[in-house]
A = this chain, B = another copy of it.
């Protein structure tokens, strides 16, 4: 457990005080920009700090103040699309005077990871996961009073959350197909253990039922880029007819198009396809993909804003905010 340390000791606040000929408290005051320091001593202390290359020890400060000014984003199981939100989150946290640090973990290690974050005295947590098997009560227990916001996902209970409205997004996509005249709509689902996969699937079914349409063939996928390919094989193997496919994300749509081509079916001439997520490559795919866009920068910013207000104004009400996705019509769908 023990290793030899090798770094030469860094100057402490007391070293600076000694060098500048003031008390350590005065240095601390300068550090915290207290107004009650004469500008003479302030400049002197600042100069000494610079000369000695002084860096405040955050661990000591955290220990004394019980505040770390750190927010932690915990990503469970996947680096998927969400990573685009991280840069906005970092920026937003900065604006409020916090550092955002990101850790990745797995479902199994989640409790442990949260414990460590809590033990590290982070001021707030962002939980990024779509898994349906993560329950609100467990999160509340594990976080032990540290404010947190769940980004994406849906555990169905009253914890702070900011997410995209999957029902709305799916309805946009499917309604688009209906508007184009499609009545036989097949489906490649996402991972049903994920909230997004689950909701997109059930919303599709609901909407078809509302229109008294029989669902076309459906294959359960897992959001992975390779899956679309095999899923299409399975769809075709059913022998059922369909003129359009609702595919739960763009990644699977990419490989699905490929599979169709190999079977001599062209998109959108023979089959219309609508995807989900609007990856950056979707616009340049052949054909450019009709899909549903979710504004990741916005969700990142809002999540941090909400978290910070939970931290700094503890009476902030718990709510769940849903952001509306947007339909992007390109060339993978056509009227029949």
Which A residues fall within an 8 A CB radius of B? 1, 3-8, 10, 32-33, 53, 55-60, 62-63, 66-68, 72, 79, 83-84, 86-87, 90, 99-105, 115-116, 118-121, 144-146, 225, 228-229, 251, 254-255, 257-258, 261, 279-281, 284-286, 311-312, 314
Knowing A119-B57, A284-B255 are in contact, say whether A7-B90 is a contact too (CB < 8 A).
no
A145 and B7 contacting across the interface, CB-CB below 8 Å: yes
A3: contacting residue among B56, B62, B120, B312, CB under 8 A = B312
Q: Which residues of B contact A257 (CB under 8 A)?
A: 284, 286
A59 and B62 contacting across the interface, CB-CB below 8 Å: yes
Q: Which residues of B contact A59 (CB under 8 A)?
A: 59-60, 62-63, 68, 120-121
Within the complex, what minimum Cβ distance (angstroms) separates A59 from chain B?
Answer: 4
Copies of the chain in the assembly: 2
Identity of the chain B residue whose Cβ is nearest the Cβ of A288 in the assembled complex: B258
Expressed in whole angstroms, the Cα–Cα distance for A8 and B145 within the complex equals 8
A102 and B99 contacting across the interface, CB-CB below 8 Å: no
A84 and B90 contacting across the interface, CB-CB below 8 Å: no
B144 and A55 contacting across the interface, CB-CB below 8 Å: yes
Knowing A255-B284, A286-B258 are in contact, say whether A119-B225 is a contact too (CB < 8 A).
no
Expressed in whole angstroms, the Cα–Cα distance for A30 and B305 within the complex equals 40
A86: contacting residue among B32, B104, B144, B280, CB under 8 A = B104
Within the complex, what minimum Cβ distance (angstroms) separates A128 from chain B?
Answer: 13
A53: contacting residue among B56, B87, B101, B144, CB under 8 A = B144
Q: Which residues of B contact A144 (CB under 8 A)?
A: 7, 10, 53, 55
Expressed in whole angstroms, the Cα–Cα distance for A145 and B228 within the complex equals 49
A79: contacting residue among B7, B84, B119, CB under 8 A = B84
Within the complex, what minimum Cβ distance (angstroms) separates A292 from chain B?
Answer: 18
Looking at A68, A279, A284, the one whose CB has the most chain B CB atoms below 10 A away is A284
A104: contacting residue among B90, B121, B286, CB under 8 A = B90
Identity of the chain B residue whose Cβ is nearest the Cβ of A145 in the assembled complex: B7
A284: contacting residue among B33, B57, B258, CB under 8 A = B258
B225 and A284 contacting across the interface, CB-CB below 8 Å: yes
A101: contacting residue among B8, B90, B101, CB under 8 A = B101
7 A-B pairs with least C-beta separation: A59-B62, A286-B286, A102-B102, A254-B284, A7-B145, A101-B101, A90-B104
Q: Which residues of B contact A280 (CB under 8 A)?
A: 225, 251
| 26 CB < 8 A contacts A-B | A1-B32, A3-B312, A4-B314, A6-B145, A10-B144, A53-B144, A55-B119, A57-B63, A58-B116, A58-B119, A59-B60, A59-B63, A60-B63, A72-B101, A86-B104, A99-B103, A99-B116, A101-B103, A102-B102, A102-B104, A228-B284, A255-B284, A257-B284, A257-B286, A261-B286, A286-B286
B104 and A103 contacting across the interface, CB-CB below 8 Å: no
Q: Which residues of B contact A63 (CB under 8 A)?
A: 57, 59-60, 63
